[in-house]
């Protein structure tokens, strides 16, 4: 028996996509659940510097290649016994097609993380930020990027705004909405959750 696939439709992401409309846009996210791409954002315009669950690299890693997770998961789920919580056939566990070591989702938990899977999107985003006409109209809408790993989203986005004349930052965060003093005239702190923001914009 196969476990049902998790629900992928998320109303908040759908509303955000609808709000963006036809405007030129990119997504940079520390989320690893692919919910942006699953809810209407173009996958080739989503940069996930922390990786994603959808791809499996070798845990060594022996190569800088990653494999789509779904076929491996289907195989292991087919051998999964819900009663005992065990996998009945150890050969169904995901192993590297190249060297036979374990595979594990490509999320940034240690030095074995395979950057190569995600850096092309990061380069395309950098290029877009540098080349996009009308960069002075750039709006960075930062949602829920707290202070646990500020070097991933929070600080880079502050720097993008800092170095793009005329750009603006809207920081949506119920716990840490504060914005840097030097961006004060170009940054807005929104001290509540994205759902309330979207409600207000819709109203
Ligand atoms: Zn390997």
The first and second tokens of residue 173, run together, are 């965060």
Please tell me the distance from the alpha carbon of residue 184 to that of residue 130, in angstroms, as a whole number: 23
pLDDT tens digits, one per residue of 119-151: 999 999 999 998 866 666 899 999 999 898 899
Q: Which residues surround ligand 1, an ion (CB under 5 A)?
A: 58, 60, 62, 96, 98-99, 101
pLDDT at 187 over 90: yes
CA of residue 65 to ligand 1 center, whole Å: 9
CATH number for the 11-49+118-202 domain, one of 3.40.50.300, 3.40.50.410, 3.30.420.40, 3.40.50.1220?
A: 3.40.50.1220
- Indicate whether 157 pLDDT > 50: yes
Do the Cβ atoms of 72 and 94 come closer than 8 Å?
A: yes
Q: For the segment 19-28, what is each residue's pLDDT rounded down to a tens digit? A: 999 999 999 9
Cα–ligand 1 centroid distance for 60 (angstroms): 6
User: ∠ CA 195-27-36 to the nearest 5 degrees?
Assistant: 60
CA 32 to centroid of ligand 1, rounded, Å: 22
Sequence-distant (6+) residues with CB within 8 A of 164 are 129, 135, 136, 138
- The yes-or-no verdict on residue 106 having pLDDT over 60 is yes
Tokens representing residue 137 in the block? 């109209």
| 25 Cα to the center of ligand 1, angstroms | 36
Ligand 1 centroid–CA 30 distance in Å is: 25
Token readout for 130 is 């540098």
What are the structural domain ranges in the chain?
11-49+118-202, 57-107
pLDDT at residue number 144: 93
């Amino acid at each position: 028996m196969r476990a049902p696939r998790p629900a992928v439709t998320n109303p908040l992401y759908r509303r955000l996509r609808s709000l963006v409309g036809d405007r030129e846009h990119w997504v940079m996210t520390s989320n690893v659940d692919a919910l942006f791409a699953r809810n209407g954002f173009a996958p080739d315009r989503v940069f996930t510097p922390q990786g994603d669950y959808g791809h499996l690299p070798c845990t060594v890693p022996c190569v800088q290649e990653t494999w789509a997770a779904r076929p491996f998961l289907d195989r292991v789920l087919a051998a999964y016994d819900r009663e005992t919580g065990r996998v009945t056939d150890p050969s169904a566990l995901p192993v590297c097609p190249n060297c036979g070591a374990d595979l594990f989702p490509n999320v940034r938990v240690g030095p074995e993380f395979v950057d190569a899977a995600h850096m092309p999107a990061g380069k395309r985003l950098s290029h877009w930020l540098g080349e996009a006409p009308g960069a002075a109209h750039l709006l960075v809408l930062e949602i829920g990027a707290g202070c646990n790993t500020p070097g991933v989203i929070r600080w880079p986005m502050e720097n993008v705004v800092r170095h793009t004349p005329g750009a603006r930052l809207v920081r949506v965060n119920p716990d840490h909405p504060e914005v840097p003093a030097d961006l004060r005239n170009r940054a807005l702190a929104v001290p509540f959750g994205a759902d309330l923001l979207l409600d207000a914009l819709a109203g």
